[in-house]
Amino acid sequence: MMKRIAKPLCLSLVLPALLAVGACATPAKQSDELTIYAAGPRAGSQVFVADFEATQRVDGASVLVPKPAVPKVAESRVGVDVGDNAMTLHFKDAWYANLRVESHAPLDLRAYVPEGVVAFELNVEEMAQGGVSFKVSCGKECERQVPFLVPARAMAGKGWQPLVLSMRCFARDGDDFRAVTVPFGLEGSGSGRVGIAHIRFLKTGTPNTVCPDYRTQSVTPEMLNQSWSINNWLPRHEAKKAEVERRNAAGEKTGIVFIGDSITEGWEKTGAPVWQRYYAKYNALGLGFGGDHTENVLWRLQHGALDGLDPNVVVLMAGTNNTGDRRENPVTTAAGIRRNIEEVQERLPNARILLLAIFPRDAKPDSQLRRINDEVNKILTGFDDGKRIFFLNINQTFLNADGTLSREVMPDLLHLNEQSYEAWAKAMAPALQRLMGE
């Protein structure tokens, strides 16, 4: 059962370094409020809890998402406890946990977007090894997410707190909020317990927490803050810097540098045998970091990842996480990639950049995420100047004749197996050898 929530205080007093100063929610008239959850979901709505593999409707005081016969993440547990006034999402070793309200009849949220807010109370009981985010749907195949890992960890153990987020955090130009079936979702990963209560939309209000600006997020350098990465991302960056320093001190020439996300990091894992055959002779360096968006790559470049290097070629591919995590406008993602290119050029003036098209993802060519990546790639073709930047699209290497992607090529329809790394290396070899002057 949820304890009585005290009269709200400005959350900025609790998290002064993370939230706007001196901001509290502006009271709204009852007619200006749309309640989504208060001692239960609004009439005509239901609550669901889900993990990576299954979804369960919330009926009763305690629900645990059932495990399939052969679970992919056997150790994970996701569930919800329901009190008189609140729900508590709990998750352990989870790739993905989701607590959401679904409306049987679509809701028209347009009146709440221009100056409105979404407000609720949050109680972070435990979040040392987890992270959370908030989601609001903006229609069919449209949802917006606000990450909240760092401030959630700062709130842990401090009891119930009011949160007020601008609806502009969840809206982008062109979004249509007239038919929303999932008005609110709380998502988690890793391990944690977090309670939520009194979820409502207000036509006017003053936010008490900030959110990333979707227009500039891809070009604003930032460390990767995910529950599964926050403890190893920075140490990995420091380890890569130490390796560069070792090479420099030993007078070793690094001929090629690969920069990217988990697909590039895979050269150190599944693709390691292929890497050894093709790139060991160049003393190549892998700077792929799982989960990276363009802004995370930019942060690494600005914090010593390339210091002291003078490679002949840089192989760059990033952007698919901008798509997968944010369904970002292709123009915005391309701007982040352009910013990465500029940073590489400034720090490695002698290097040629082999810019790869973002690899295909999802089984079908008309999937939303595949379509976004294809639109990004169309923009990237214009970055090729024939002098220092050379664009290469080898995506057909991975696809069937009808444009479909097989799990035999990418087991999870995103990441490569060893045979696919071999195919990548062979398809890229002519361009790479030419740029290496061979």
Active site residue: 93, 175, 325, 415, which one? 415
Q: Which amino acid is at 46?
A: Q
**Residue 65's closest CA among 37, 36, 89?**
89
Q: Is 293 a catalytic residue?
A: no
**Residue whose tokens read 């380890």:** 239
265 phi, psi to nearest 5 deg: -60, -25
**Active-site pick, 262, 303, 325, 374:** 262
Which of 176, 307, 310, 412 is labelled catalytic? 412
Q: Are 312 and 437 in contact (CB under 8 A)?
A: yes
Active-site annotation holds for 412: yes
| Cα separation, 244 vs 25, whole angstroms | 49
> What is the per-residue DSSP string for 70-100?
S-SSTT-EEEEEE-SSEEEEEEEEEEEEEEE
* Position 99, amino acid: L
| β partners of residue 55 | 50
Q: Which residue has the tokens 């294809």?
A: 374
Let me know: does 226 contact 131? Beta carbons within 8 Å: yes
Tally the C-alpha atoms within 13 A of residue 23's C-alpha that lie toward its C-beta. 18
Residue 166: active-site member: no
Q: Which residues are catalytic?
A: 262, 412, 415
